[in-house]
Amino acid sequence: MKFKDQFINAKFLERPNRFITIIDINGEQHRSHLADPGRLKELLFPGADLLVRKVENNPTRKTKFSTVMVNHAGQLISLVSTLPNQFVKEALMNKELPMLNKFSLVRPEITVGRHRFDFLLTDENGEDFYLEVKSVTFVENQVAQFPDAVTLRGKKHVLALKKLVEKNKKAGVLFVCQRPDATSFKPMWKRDDKFCYALKEAFESGVKVWCITLNISSTEITYNQEIPIKL
């Protein structure tokens, strides 16, 4: 997936709330929107190198910039939690995800009861498959982990997928690690054990669980590899 934007180099200064970063561009301070509500403390520290996007001609916005990536130990990591959905949509259409190559995209954002899932697919037999995508940025000792902040919404999603499977529907969760350095995935039990228990229950009920890593550059994102899941 190619980026259409030209990015600007910036330095991270502070994060007064979950969705705002204070950045430095050529000695001038600016407020910049951050789309990832996770803790990100291992990535966002004073002096961290950022790539940001300037937002033009939007009078309703309170910030003129969006924080898009951080350069962590020489490696770009995406900080846009909605980017995996854009990538997965394009990858599904182009058959670029090996574990999902037998599925066809019907539509993004499908509502079932009170829940809205990211994608509705069909398998090779024409049966519906509900797919939820989760963004991962935290990696420790080459292990990708999710969530790095409590996610009640995430818990509700996986339990809703579990109920669908129990009604003989098909469903799955795809964790998208927005960096290439992870070699396995596990839930972050110490951060949100309720989500982790829900994910484990869903998996044991038949919900498919995958994790992939991405290659990130300032011009594009590409599929790297699927990594093992350790629940």
Where do the domains of the chain lie, and which CATH numbers do they carry? Answer: 8-77 (2.40.50.580), 83-227 (3.40.1350.60)
Q: Give, in order, the Cα–Cα distances in Å from 216 to each of 26, 56, 77, 78.
A: 25, 24, 7, 7
- Residue type (1 letter), 156: K
Q: Which two tokens stand for residue 16?
A: 């007064």
- Confirm if 35 and 21 have CB atoms less than 8 A apart: no
The one-digit pLDDT tens for each residue of the chain (231 residues) are 999 888 999 999 999 998 999 999 999 999 999 988 888 999 999 999 999 999 887 777 889 999 999 999 999 999 998 999 999 999 999 999 999 999 999 999 999 988 899 999 999 999 999 999 999 999 999 999 999 989 999 999 999 999 999 999 999 999 999 999 999 999 999 999 999 999 999 999 999 999 999 999 999 999 999 999 999
Residues 6+ apart with CB under 8 A from 98: 226
- Spell 30-62 as b/e; 16+ CB within 10 A means b: bebbbebebbbeebbeeebebbbbeeeeeeeee
Report how far Cα 80 is from the mean position of its chain's Cα atoms: 7
pLDDT at 216: 95
The CA-to-CA distance between both ends of the chain, in Å, stands at 30
Helix (H, G, I), strand (E, B) or coil at 147: coil
- In the β-sheet with 170-177, what is the strand arrangement from edge to edge? 104-112, 115-122, 128-136, 170-177, 208-216, 221-227
